[in-house]
Amino acid sequence: MVNMPILNLNHDIPPMILWTFACVIALTWALIWTRQHFKYGTRYPPSPPGYALFTNGRKDCPVPPLWCACLEWGKTYGNILFLQAFFTRPIVALNSLEDATELLGKRSHNYSSRPKIPMYELMGYTFTTGVKFYGAELRYHRRILEREFRHDAALLYRPVQTEKMIDALYELLTTPEDFIAHIKTYAAAIILSAMYGYDVSPKEDKFVILSESSDRAFSEGPSSKWTINTFPFLRHVPSWVPGAGFKRYASSVRSVLREQLIAPYQFVVESLCHTEKDYDILQQVTASGYNGLYVFKSGVGTVRFITNEWTASSITNFLIAMVTFPEVQTRAQLEIDNVTGGTRLPDYSDLPLLPYIEAMFREVLRWKPIVPLGLPHICKEEDIYNEYYIPKETLVHPNIWAMTRDPTKYIDAENFNSDRFLNDAGKLNDDRVEYAFGFGRRICPGQHLASASVWLAMATILSMFTIGKMKDAFGDDIPLEVKFTENGILSYPLPFKCTIKPRSDKARQLILEAYKMARN
């Protein structure tokens, strides 16, 4: 056995060197601490101990999921947190709705841009309206999108939404075990039909598959798991170099995105060649001073992605809530039956008569927000807020997860309770959970279309089906266990199993009749 030499610090290293080394460390720490806590007579927002120096990997600094970590840190350090790990850009997390509204809304001139994300650039996601820097091109994108998807304009899409919901009901009736695929198809079918006049196939549609393949890439693009986001110079490393797998992955995503943008547009062009359809949005953007075709492809492509993923995930969260809280399902079905009499499908005209369904929709937004940490804004110029100094180029995240867990507004926040949004008289209150769609000039332009799609799905599914737990061989309920993604900007449920059964023979008949009528 070989005895390894033991380093004797007292003899092998001169004391002067040890003292010098210790002083350098102490001085470095003092400078960093001073810089972080005092600037222009103010100080940086508080940080968890040790976070701002060298690490985001300490056991007491659980980054994934960061929105949960910030919620817990906020209980100790306040609603405005400053986070900066070694080699990374500083982050300010806003845990309160009031702070996010003030900075991202009222001071939107300074907080409306997006950060440069190297992995997005490699993937080709720079076309996306939601991640563009703030400027003339972005303003034009949003002007087009807001004109097409503002609240009154979104009403024009309701016939399409109703038609696609009937298709989804039929698929749920015939193959309920594939409910996740049916929900994704419903979400994609609405925007593809409304924007491109394209009628999706019930299963394995090429455009739906293209959308699904890019959803995960978009969600995980800003993740710290990609070393290029921390060390942007790695973009110059050849893809064959060991450890450069991120470049090969980005290349595969880029080819999918290119097809996802071009293929639907080509369908529109071919359709216009064979019909006399008046396609207003295409004519408007192509006549503009900007690259109109690019705006059409990228702007509409952005809304397609947002509404697809947000709509599908919200409906899936709704199903989870119905399985987990059956008493909520029973009460909602009673309200619907009182309006429809069980003799027809609910429709948008019933919306004012179904306050509990609207309250349940708002609770779905609150209970499991799809973008829990919000898309990052960037502080264009240094700022001072509540005596805290926010440096230039700081990433600012509205922690929507923390806002939905505000104990002063939402008691027992993990419980699904639609009554939060009803007053004592059973009327809806003023809390619309609008912060789930973003803030200021970067609020989601497709929110009205997506919200209407989710509301209709909730009302019609509950009117026709009962959602429940799976049974084991002995007929006992199998506990529902659902996991959510935590490593990207989106948090959506991973596949799970539940039962979706017609409430009655009458419900089955109504679905079949509605489907037959829609197809004739």
DSSP code at position 38: -
How many Å apart are CA 353 and CA 336, to the nearest integer? 9
Determine whether the annotation assigns residue 68 to a binding site: no
Specify the residue for token string 């350090």: 77
**Three-state SS string across 392-415, please?**
CCCEEEECHHHHCCCCCCCCCCCC
Of the CA atoms within 13 Å of residue 422, those in its CB half-sphere come to 16
Instruction: Compute the distance between CA of residue 286 and CA of residue 299 in angstroms, rounded to an integer.
Output: 13
H or E element, residue 467? strand 465-468
d(CA 4, CA 230): 38
Residues 188, 184: Cα–Cα separation, whole Å: 6
Residue 360: Cβ within 10 Å count: 28
Cα–Cα distance measured from residue 284 to residue 261, given in angstroms and rounded to the nearest whole number? 18
CB 289 within 8 Å of CB 339? no
Contacts of the segment 63-66: beta carbons below 8 A, 24+ positions apart: 63/224, 64/486, 64/487, 65/372, 65/373, 65/486, 65/487, 65/491, 66/93, 66/373
Q: Is 92 helix (H, G, I), strand (E, B) or coil?
A: strand
State both tokens at 77. 């350090």
Residue 107 parent element (H or E): none
* Contacts of residue 435, Cβ cutoff 8 Å, sequence gap at least 6: 97, 100, 101, 398, 400, 403
What distances in angstroms separate CA 14 from CA 7, 17, 28, 276, one per listed residue? 13, 6, 22, 88
CA distance 358 to 361: 5
Distance CA 267, CA 264 (A): 5
Helices in 221-346 by DSSP H: which ranges? 227-230, 245-274, 280-286, 292-324, 326-340
Question: Could you give phi then psi for residue 373, rounded to 5 degrees?
Answer: -105, 5
Q: What is the 3-state secondary structure of 112-146?
A: CECCCCHHHHHHCHHHCHHHCCCCHHHHHHHHHHH
Give the number of other Cβ atoms within 10 Å of residue 388's Cβ: 18
- Asked if residue 99 lies in contact with residue 81, where contact means CB atoms within 8 angstroms, the answer is no
What would the two tokens of residue 330 be? 């029973």
User: Are the C-beta atoms of 93 and 394 separated by less than 8 Å?
Assistant: no
Binding residues for heme, as ranges, are 444
Binding residues, as ranges, are 444
